[in-house]
Structure 1
Amino acid sequence: MPQLNPNPWFLIMLASWAIFLLLMQPKLLSFTPTNSPPNKTKTTPNPTPWTWPWT
């Protein structure tokens, strides 16, 4: 069975992880969202009581 031979696929997996860790991850971690949640003010909702039909 050729699927059990890890010779070519192990190097492909290592290369893909190296590309992710060395090239993609620093670019993704340096991204700062333009509308970050900590800058927003917190508003507490004012709930209205439910009017039950049998009361």
Structure 2
Amino acid sequence: MPQLNPNPWFFVMLLSWLTFSLMIQPKLLSFPHTNPPTNKSSTTTKITPWTWPWT
């Protein structure tokens, strides 16, 4: 059964991961973020209880 032979497929997997790690990933990480994180001010809102009509 040739599909159980990992020799050619391991090389393909290793080559694809090296390509991704060394070439594609740095190019993707160099793009600026479209929505940079901002610090939100923590404002407290007054919570009013709900008035139920049947109580």
> TM-score, structure 1 length as denominator?
0.66
Which one has the largest radius of gyration? 2
Pairs within 5 Å for 1:5-16:
5-16=5-16
Identity of aligned residues (%): 65
Query: RMSD in angstroms over aligned alpha carbons?
Result: 2.3
CA distance change for structure 1 residues 7 and 50 in 2, over 3 Å: closer, same or farther?
same
Counting helix residues as a fraction of each chain, which structure ranks higher?
Answer: 1
> TM-score, structure 2 length as denominator?
0.66
Runs of 4+ in 1 over 2 A off after TM superposition: 40-55
Unaligned runs of 5+ in 1: none
Unaligned runs of 5+ in 2: none
* CA shift for structure 1 position 17: 0.3
How many positions carry a matched residue from both structures?
54
